[in-house]
Amino acid sequence: MQDRVVILGAGQAGAQLAQSLRASGHEGEILLVGDEPWLPYQRPPLSKKFLAGEMEAEGLELRPAAFYETQRIGLRLSTPVEAVDCREKRVYPKAGEPISYDRLVFATGTRPRSIPLPGADLPGVVTLRGIADVDAMRPLFKQSSRIAVVGGGYIGLEVAAVARSFGVEVTVLEAQDRVMKRVVSPAVSAYFENLHGENGVDLRLGAGVAAFEGASQVEGVRLADGTVVPCGMVLVAVGAAPNDELAAKAGIEVSDGILVDGGGRTSDENVHAAGDCTRFHSARYGRSIRLESVQNAIDQAKAVASDMAGKPVDYDPVPWFWSDQYATKLQIAGLSQDYDEAVTVGDPASGSFYVAYLAAGRLIAVDSINHPRSHMLARRSIGEAWRADLLPAA
């Protein structure tokens, strides 16, 4: 295949797609276009080891520069794109000449959701998505004796854990009645609430945020009940939104993500999409899903490369995720939404247990806390009828 392939998004999905296209025998030009100045890099360590200073930016790189040269993968970095013309098959960067393509792939990922509240534009109110965000946060960690985290999901709790390791006082403000409510059971939420409490985090549940206060710098968070939480930095971590606007403006069908089939094909025959920006139907779960994970970025990119090489697949993965908080590792296999029974195996007080989620007697997801064996077996067992010996003892 000699087509010129342009990939919008130089992250995990984009880099994997370019690599897999070459491995599949694609001989034409491959161009990765990204809006950040860095080589494609891994994002999970940003809120963990990279924020903690245990990893340099170079250590985040998925591949060295020489790899892209050897594989004849072009890199157009620091190149934000403002429009795509699918009829003319052209990409329009904000600066510079249009880029023509034969085949286009959106791998544009997600961005942190914002909360439109008074004071949201104050210096010191930050989000976390890329290297630049962490670089901006580190000095605030050093300058602030107290920070606030809005959102009790993965990112918010991971940053809270790192901040406590620096001796920073942390208040986590979660609007729901428990942390990580969207993705874990009450038992797992309770475990992590206790873990953060034991490590000195001031965790406030059911806490609605009304405004961010301060003059030239954020100085506090005002809650819906009028309480003010003093802080020198606020991390807003209330989820991520897909970067699908560019595709929508180009006439491609979107609905909280770029709509694709099992091969990553969009509503335009010359355009595919892969990674966090996509939404696809999962026969396994009987609904459309949008996944935000490294696993999905890599595996869906491989599926798209295969489809583009004339070897179509029907991508329908068992999703898996992980989160490191203090010395605790949470690993999730499957999606637990719509479960009708949760089986806790082991004693949470021991620090090593797992929760199996069932729907109509079948295993749909497993949360493993410091229990890697159950996680690995769960990834192979999702969809099977539940029985006591399906997964290992705690």
Say what the pLDDT of residue 143 is.
84
Mean pLDDT in the chain?
Answer: 97
Tens digits of residue pLDDT in 299-312? 999 999 999 999 99
pLDDT for 140 beyond 90: no
Calculate mean pLDDT across residues 47-69: 95
pLDDT for 206 beyond 80: yes
Say what the pLDDT of residue 252 is.
99
Cα–Cα nearest to 154, from 184, 177, 131: 184
pLDDT for 144 beyond 90: no
Alpha-helical segments (H) within 199-283: 245-249
Tell me the β-bridge partners of 367: 332, 355
Say what the pLDDT of residue 141 is.
83
Q: Which pTM value belongs to this model? A: 0.95
Tens digits of residue pLDDT in 356-377? 999 999 999 999 999 999 999 9
3-state secondary structure of 27: coil
Say what the pLDDT of residue 243 is.
99
Do residues 94 and 52 make contact, with C-beta atoms less than 8 angstroms apart?
Answer: no
Tens digits of residue pLDDT in 223-262? 999 999 999 999 999 999 999 999 999 999 999 999 999 9
Do residues 23 and 67 make contact, with C-beta atoms less than 8 angstroms apart?
Answer: no
Say what the pLDDT of residue 2 is.
79
Q: Which domains does the chain have, with CATH numbers?
A: 5-111+240-308 (3.50.50.60), 125-236 (3.50.50.60), 327-381 (3.30.390.30)
Calculate mean pLDDT across residues 139-159: 93
pLDDT for 11 beyond 90: yes
Alpha-helical segments (H) within the chain: 12-23, 57-60, 65-70, 131-143, 154-165, 186-198, 245-249, 294-308, 372-381
Tell me the β-bridge partners of 234: 125, 148
Cα–Cα nearest to 220, from 210, 236, 232: 232
Calculate mean pLDDT across residues 262-284: 98
Tens digits of residue pLDDT in 20-51? 999 999 999 999 999 999 999 999 999 999 99
Say what the pLDDT of residue 275 is.
98
- The 10 Å Cβ neighbour count of residue 78 is 11
Share of the chain above pLDDT 70, in %: 100
What is the distance between the alpha carbons of residues 192 and 207, in angstroms, rounded to a whole number?
17
Cα–Cα nearest to 170, from 187, 190, 195: 195
Tens digits of residue pLDDT in 71-106? 999 999 999 999 999 999 999 999 999 999 999 999
pLDDT for 1 beyond 80: no
